[in-house]
Copies of this chain bind each other. A is one copy, B any other.
Amino acid sequence: MSSDQPQPAFVLVRPQMGENIGGAARAMLNFGLDKMRVVAPRDGWPNERAVAMASGAGRVLDGAFLCDSTEAALEDCHYVFATTARARGLTKPVVTPETAMKQAAEMIAKGEKVAVLFGPERAGLENEDIARANAIINVPVNPEYASLNLAQCVLLTAYEWRRQSAEIVHERVDMAKTEWANHAEMEALERHYEERLEEAGFFYPEEKAEGMKINLRNMWSRMRLTRADVQMLHGVMRQMVRWKERE
């Protein structure tokens, strides 16, 4: 994932703690975002604590665009989202991170530039900044307990960006160097168990034997076994027989 990937710019407005700037850089890069803009960071720039916290995501900080006003940070942007935790008395569309990043992906695909504003840790964005945004992003947190910090808010928004813009495989099976057993292999396994269990006197009483065999076969087929599983189950049965023969 390179920085040539079209993507929204994440704008940290007047961030206070270097740790949070570094945390935001990591959160972004986890989901393939590396275009950060920083407006008037409290402790100047570059920020040592941000660099220390960013660990492998230092290049997000190195490439960050530094400026001294929100206006300057948004100059080239066509659409701006502002993240806020509380209502601000401004008439404005309010969307979830999911909807916002879906809209962002659509606009970016048309060549438009999109930015997301994140406010300072303590108080969040000023209304002056929010009035510059086209829409507000509000994370659907528990109304009785909302305590997302800056890096977490960046993390969830970046996660939604990747969810809306990347091809994600939602369900797969990690095959761990094996493959599904085919029908012949399953048949052989079922036969092996049936024969040995027959010898062992498992299918008793006789009038229940047929039903017991069907239940056993049904269980194997429901399980969807791999070749490795089949080999292991053959081994289990062989070992039980060996053990019995040692007696």
Q: Which residues of A contact B (CB under 8 A)?
A: 1, 26-27, 29-32, 55-57, 87-96, 98-99, 136, 139-148, 152, 155-156, 159, 162-163, 166, 168-178, 226, 228-229
Contacts and interface: CB of A to CB of B under 8 A. Distances in A.
B29 A145 contact: yes
11 contacts: A26-B147, A27-B152, A30-B148, A87-B174, A89-B176, A90-B174, A91-B174, A91-B176, A92-B173, A95-B170, A155-B155
A159 B110 CA distance: 29
Nearest to A152: B155
Chain multiplicity (copies)? 2
B88 A174 contact: yes
B98 A170 contact: yes
A163 B98 contact: yes
A140 to B, nearest CB: 5
A30 B31 CA distance: 21
